[in-house]
Structure 1
Amino acid sequence: MALDLKTAVKYLIMLLIGVGILSLAFRGQDLGKIWLEIKTANLFHVIISALCVLIAYLLRALRWQMLYKSIHYQVGFWNVYHGVIIGYLANLALPRFGEVVRCSVMHKTERVPIFSSLGTVITERLFDVLMLFLTGLAMLIFQYDLVFDFLYHRIYQNITNYFIHLNYAWLVAFGIFMVSLCGLLVYFLRRRVSKKFLRIFVSLRQGFGSYSKMKNKASFLLCTVGIWSFYLVSMYFCFFAIPSTSHLHFNAAFTALVFSGFAMAAPVQGGIGVFHWMVAQSLILYSISLKDGLAYATIIHSSQVLLILILGCLSIFLTLTKPDPKQIKS
């Protein structure tokens, strides 16, 4: 998949936005003290945290394999796992690019049509969005007093102040632009519909129907809960990496998980900047200073990026050296 100049500029802008948020998050902080905390972090708990994330990746691969089997593709577990990890590696370079890359990996290793794979990917992402919504709802219900203060003073008031000073002429112009863009898109699609697009639609529909055709839905849902549970345990174990967060309990890890989930949904490579700021803000709710929150966020984010780099490079090597299924059959 070649990148044109326009797409490359878009991704570069996203990266610069992430770096900008990162610099704003660390602005005014004592970087020397933050670096000292990171250097003296307890590696044992960082490794345990990373292992929990690895288990979540394995469960994610198992869950994706279930979707394939429901639409009659008997794919190997390790090929699915390599696709998941290589997809995460691609997301570090280009946001959301990993979803396409892992479908390409499955096409190479298992000859699954890319658009059928893409339908299953979108299906499992919908369940992740549902889990993020449910965990966010649980956070609001069980920690309402704590979270409400943050949402009101740091989010609602800032947005309100922004709209008060907003030039509504620009807002109206933006609305007209979006309506015009949607109209042009509908016109273009109606003019360009062909048998090729029909085949793409059929393949996507096959992937979308993967969950409804699944016989053992309970196992799929159990894997989904397991993925998020291990992410939660990962956040919790990393608290013990530095003294300033070692006293925090699972409720703080739960809040940090929800905040990090929304951060990773941002279209920025690897959630850089947004992840650090959101996780640090979540820990402020538990009387952790911004400096210590940023140190914690940097440790857990860096450990996960390093894990993806190591596993991703290994998966790429194993995938590239694997014989093509067409060559084996011939």
Structure 2
Amino acid sequence: MTFDLKTALKYIILFLIGIGVLYLAFRGQDLEKIWLEIKSANYFWVFISALAVWIAHVLRALRWQMLYKSIHYKVSFWNAYHAVMIGYLANLALPRFGEIGRCSVIHKAEKVPMFAAIGTVITERLFDVLVLFLTALAMLIFQYEIVSDFLHGTIYLSITKKLSTINYFWLIGIVIITIILVVAAIYFLRQKFSKKFLRIFVSLRQGFGSYSKLKQKGLFLTYTLGIWIFYSLSMYFAFSSIQATSGLHFNAAFTAIVFSGFAMAAPVQGGIGVFHWMVAQSLVLYSIAFKDGLAYATIIHSSQVLLILILGSLSLFIILTKKNIK
């Protein structure tokens, strides 16, 4: 990856946007009370919450290993696990760079073609997106009365207000120009790098086809479900860490994981700011004060970042000091 000034500025701007959202979330709140609530938290439950997240990461490594096996690449569990943790570590610095980073680890440790690895990552991410949308749909069906006001007042009215100011003539023009540029770029690449482009396409297709070649699709789906169950459990366990959220039930964790899932999709390092605001908003739906929701979001986000910093750095050290981990 060529890291030039333009790339650096892009990531700096994304980071500043995250800081800006974080500032807006905490603006006007009693920061002293929030800090006191964080200091007095029951960190046993914070640890249990972090443990649940770690188990989800382990399941992610096992699931990813299955995809490699289906396309006849023998990737050890430990290399897959270390690559996943290093990927999360990279995401703290550069959003979405972690996906490329973990593929690079597998490429170097197990000699798997880079684009085949990328294809497997895209495949598993598609399943994560599918689960997130199905979870969101279930939330709408079973908790419609709770989330409907938020969706209408905060989301729908805001979007319609912004759409009403759009000049659709310019929007259609931009879409057409974008399509032309993409088609032209693909044509140019195929003409100039036809053989290389073909190899990349074949490798990507191999990675994309990894799920269809799985012999144990049920186990793959079980791992996928398990990942999201443990994510939800991490939210639920953390409720007991502070008094304000200790009375919440699993349905609140179910909603919080949906909100946090969309927040983490934002191209901001570690979801900073966006995660805090979205999780706090999700708890407001259950009569939790926004400031208490921010305290809860800060605790769970900080614990997960700390987990990645420690375990991700350990994985990076192991990969850098050993040629291959079996």
For residues 174 and 290 of structure 1, the distance between their equivalents in structure 2, rounded to whole angstroms, comes to 39
For residues 103 and 201 of structure 1, the distance between their equivalents in structure 2, rounded to whole angstroms, comes to 16
Q: CA deviation at 1:169?
A: 6.4
Partner of 2:6: 6
After alignment, is 3-12 or 176-185 more displaced?
Answer: 176-185
**1:143 matched to 2:137:** no
Q: CA deviation at 1:113?
A: 1.2
Matched to 2:6, the amino acid is K
Question: 2:85·2:308 contact (CA, 8 Å) conserved in 1?
Answer: yes
For residues 199 and 283 of structure 1, the distance between their equivalents in structure 2, rounded to whole angstroms, comes to 48
5+ residue gaps in structure 2?
none
Partner of 2:58: 58
Residues 231-259 of structure 1 deviation map (CA, whole Å, 9 limit, x = unaligned): 00000000011000000000000000000
Matched to 1:41, the amino acid is A
Q: CA deviation at 1:77?
A: 0.4
Partner of 1:319: 319
Q: CA deviation at 1:158?
A: 1.1
After alignment, is 4-13 or 50-59 more displaced?
Answer: 4-13
Question: 2:82·2:316 contact (CA, 8 Å) conserved in 1?
Answer: yes
Tell me the SS of whatever aligns to 1:25.
helix
Question: 2:239·2:248 contact (CA, 8 Å) conserved in 1?
Answer: yes
For residues 174 and 33 of structure 1, the distance between their equivalents in structure 2, rounded to whole angstroms, comes to 48
Matched to 1:236, the amino acid is Y
Tell me the SS of whatever aligns to 2:124.
helix
Matched to 1:233, the amino acid is L
For residues 172 and 28 of structure 1, the distance between their equivalents in structure 2, rounded to whole angstroms, comes to 40
| Equivalent residue runs for 1:1-330 within 5 Å | 1-166=1-166, 171=171, 174-175=174-175, 177-323=177-323
Q: CA deviation at 1:180?
A: 4.7
Matched to 1:242, the amino acid is I
For residues 317 and 186 of structure 2, the distance between their equivalents in structure 1, rounded to whole angstroms, comes to 42
Normalized against structure 2, the TM-score is what? Answer: 0.96
Distance 1:2 1:25, change over 3 A: same
After alignment, is 282-291 or 189-198 more displaced?
Answer: 189-198
Tell me the SS of whatever aligns to 1:288.
coil
For residues 250 and 21 of structure 2, the distance between their equivalents in structure 1, rounded to whole angstroms, comes to 27
Tell me the SS of whatever aligns to 2:241.
coil
Question: 2:190·2:197 contact (CA, 8 Å) conserved in 1?
Answer: no
For residues 176 and 31 of structure 1, the distance between their equivalents in structure 2, rounded to whole angstroms, comes to 48
Residues 293-325 of structure 1 deviation map (CA, whole Å, 9 limit, x = unaligned): 111101000000000000011001110111259
Question: 2:41·2:241 contact (CA, 8 Å) conserved in 1?
Answer: yes
For residues 186 and 305 of structure 2, the distance between their equivalents in structure 1, rounded to whole angstroms, comes to 39
For residues 184 and 20 of structure 1, the distance between their equivalents in structure 2, rounded to whole angstroms, comes to 37
For residues 219 and 103 of structure 1, the distance between their equivalents in structure 2, rounded to whole angstroms, comes to 22
RMSD: 1.5
Distance 1:199 1:226, change over 3 A: same
Q: CA deviation at 1:179?
A: 4.1
For residues 140 and 301 of structure 1, the distance between their equivalents in structure 2, rounded to whole angstroms, comes to 25
For residues 121 and 201 of structure 1, the distance between their equivalents in structure 2, rounded to whole angstroms, comes to 15
Q: CA deviation at 1:160?
A: 1.5
For residues 200 and 319 of structure 2, the distance between their equivalents in structure 1, rounded to whole angstroms, comes to 26
* Number of aligned residues: 325
For residues 140 and 276 of structure 2, the distance between their equivalents in structure 1, rounded to whole angstroms, comes to 21
For residues 84 and 168 of structure 1, the distance between their equivalents in structure 2, rounded to whole angstroms, comes to 42
5+ residue gaps in structure 1?
326-330
After alignment, is 129-138 or 176-185 more displaced?
Answer: 176-185
Partner of 1:328: none
Q: CA deviation at 1:9?
A: 1.2
Matched to 2:33, the amino acid is K
Residues 254-299 of structure 1 deviation map (CA, whole Å, 9 limit, x = unaligned): 0000000001111111111111111011001001111011111010
After alignment, is 162-171 or 262-271 more displaced?
Answer: 162-171
Distance 1:316 1:261, change over 3 A: same
Normalized against structure 1, the TM-score is what? Answer: 0.95
Question: 2:189·2:197 contact (CA, 8 Å) conserved in 1?
Answer: no
Matched to 1:19, the amino acid is I
Q: CA deviation at 1:16?
A: 1.1
